[in-house]
Each structure stands twice: as C-alpha cells, then as structure tokens.
A = this chain, B = another copy of it.
Amino acid sequence: MRIIGNFLRSLFFLNTLLLLIWPDLQAQIPPESKPSITNVSKSGYPRIMPDRSVIFRIKAPNADTVKIQLDKRYNMVRDTGGYWFVKTDPQVPGFHYYSVIVGGLSAADPASYSFFGMSRMASAIEIPEEGVDFYKPKDVPQGAIRTRWVFSTVTGEWRKIFIYTPPQYEQDLKQRYPVLYLQHGGGEDQRGWTYQGNLAYIMDNLIAEGKAVPMIIVMNDGYAVYAGDPVPEQVPNQRSVEAAFAGFKDMMLKDIIPFIDKTYRTLPDRENRAMAGLSYGGRQTFDLTLPNLDKFAWLGGFSGGPRISPTDNLKSVYSGVFADAAQFNEKVKLLFIGNGTVEGNSPVETADILRKSGIKNIVVYQSPGTAHEWLTWRRCLHEFAPLLFRK
C-alpha cells in the first residue's frame, strides 16, 4: 500500500509539474482563429484558422482514443483536464458534417449545433467563403419559414412540413404566388434546406435584388412509407431505401399539393408549379414530375439529374417523355441540372444526350470546387431560383 501511495504521490507531483510546464492549449488559443458559427452559443471550439484548418476540442477524460471524422479521420491528442485536441488539414469552404468517434461510437460533438444528416443528428462546421454573402442574413425584407403539420392519408400520419413564404406574402392578401416544391436528399429531411441550406437567406436576398420572383417554397420529408406497410430502418441497402420512399409520389399528389393550394395563396396551375431536389430528392423530382407534366413546368435536379445513359433508348426511359422533344419543349419551361465539379461531369453528359434528341430549355450549372454537399446545393438554388416562373 505504501508503495502504491508513493507511486500515486509521485504521479501527482509529476502531474503538477506537467501542469506547470505543459503548454496549456486552452490558454494558447491562436488569436487568428475564430469559433465556427455552427458552434453552440458561446462555445469556443471548434475554431477555424485563416488557412481553413480546424482546431477541435473534445472532453473525454476516460477515453483511450478520440478521433474526428471530417474530410478524413484525425486522431486527437490528449491534453490536460480531460480534453483532447487536434488541428485538421485546411478545408474547402462550405458546410461539412463531422463526427466524434469514441469507443467506436460515432457521435455528434456537444460543442456544435446538430443537423439532421447522415440519418442522424450530426455535427457540422461552416467554413467561411471569402467575399461571398448570398447565403448570409442581410438587412433586407424577410420572408418566413413556417412549420406546419399535415395529415397524410397516404402514409397515415401527421407530417411536419416547412414552408417559405416571401416577404410580400403578408402585405397584400389578394396576391397569389407560384410554388416550388423542394426536396432534400438521403439521410436528411425537410429541415435540411432551412438549416443546412440557408434557403431563407438565399431567397430573401434574391428577391430583394429583384433577381427572383417572389415564390412559396414547400419542403417535405421525402421518406414516406404507405400506411400499414412495415417501416424499414434506415440502413444503407438499396431495398430499404426504396421502401422508405415508396409512398412519396402519392403523398405529394394526393395530400401535400392539394393541402398547399387550399391553405396558401398559390397560383395552382402547372405554369406556376416547380419541383426540384438534391441527390435522392433529384431522383424523386424526375420520378414524380416527368409522368405528371400536366402539373409541373419547371424542374431541377441538384447532384441528382434524370437517370439517362448514352446507350439508353429515350423511348424506354421515363415512359418515353424525352422521345417527343416537341411536346416536351412545349411543356417544360426549364430543366435545370447541376452539381459540384468534384462530383464529376454527369450534368453535362445528361444535357448532351437530351439536347442531341432535341430537348431544349436545359440549363447546366456546375459549382466550382465543391463536392456532394451543401455549398453545391446552395449555389444550385441560387442559380435555379432566378430562372423560375419567367414568362
């Protein structure tokens, strides 16, 4: 016991000594670094350096290892006081999800706000983009994001929807507005465009500058299982993904669109109805709209365009809607296909196929230097929205 006592005392002494001589990382916050705007209020970490590297701090006093998963996996280094630190490589601008990994548990960082992404509440960091403010709040007239519950007869449940109304909406009760239905991607939900996408800032700013027509934007949870069907857990296999989305089209056509046209001052005709989505939401957009062009005239896919390959016979995809170019061109005022350049060149390839067969009104946009994530989609919306509902 005495030996152990001595050992503990010497450990204590060593520890005290270390505390005195050890550089205290907390006291040494690099003055040129700034807390991320995605931090919970007043949290000093994570911090972003001028070169866009990120310093993370996690308190996990009993952990053997702590890792940060951002663009890659970083091993954290144990510091005093139960804290672990790491500085990452420089990051590209934009909104990036990240995880803390302890004991094999991949969790959100308590120091950051969480967002529904990766099929769970996930931490994220916003790396500032120099000189760009189209997705930031400005002193312009503001629309509002409303949250509403709608009962879906198709899925047999109350469903929360997010609705953007433009600043003008409450000024003149006689005015009616066109509607954009806008979908999230896999592993996210109806909140994504508001919280990750900064949709309200983007639209308020575009409308204030006269660059976009005032419009209503409706955002639904794309996961929709038919009432009575078994609810698949969100596991990453194609079958469960398909099942999880199976009721979406019917729900939109039978429940959501009628509800919106009944409840809000919409212009309820096809010329004033658009739909777009990102990633899986792009797929849902074309699956829903192309067989229903009597209801939609403006279409967009962000990192998720129409699924067409150069070897396809256009008569056999999407029920042949692209095969009759004249009819398609008359009906579809806009077919917008966008992605990030890091994702590859598929929007250009898709547009080539369609243009060769006479399809017009195609707009391709590629976001420079961004991947399959939110800065790509913010930019896509910023390019797409100004084109909508033009005569």
Residues of A within 8 A of B (CB): 40-44, 58-64, 66, 82, 100, 102-108, 110-114, 116, 119-121, 137, 139, 142, 144-149, 151, 158, 163, 170, 173, 189, 194, 200, 221, 223, 231-234, 244
B149 touches A60 (CB 8 A): no
Q: Given known contacts A121-B121, A142-B148, A144-B146, is B58 in contact with A105 (CB within 8 Å)?
A: yes
Q: Tell me the minimal C-beta distance from A230 to chain B in angstroms.
A: 10
A121 touches B114 (CB 8 A): yes
A107 touches B110 (CB 8 A): yes
Chain B residues with CB below 8 A from A112, complex form: 121
B223 touches A120 (CB 8 A): no
B108 touches A59 (CB 8 A): no
**In the docked arrangement, what's the CA distance between A134 and B361, Å?**
51
Ranked 10 nearest A-B pairs via Cβ: A63-B103, A62-B104, A144-B146, A60-B105, A61-B104, A107-B107, A110-B120, A114-B121, A102-B103, A137-B149
Contact among B102, B107, B158, B234 for A108, CB-based, below 8 A: B107
When C-beta atoms are compared, the residue in chain B nearest to A225 turns out to be: B42
Chain B residues with CB below 8 A from A200, complex form: 147
A244 touches B42 (CB 8 A): yes
A120 touches B221 (CB 8 A): no
A110 touches B106 (CB 8 A): yes
Q: Tell me the minimal C-beta distance from A82 to chain B in angstroms.
A: 6
Q: Given known contacts A42-B231, A142-B148, A234-B42, is B104 in contact with A100 (CB within 8 Å)?
A: no
Contact among B107, B113, B223, B232 for A105, CB-based, below 8 A: B107
**In the docked arrangement, what's the CA distance between A60 and B102, Å?**
8
A145 touches B147 (CB 8 A): yes
A82 touches B104 (CB 8 A): yes
**In the docked arrangement, what's the CA distance between A44 and B163, Å?**
29
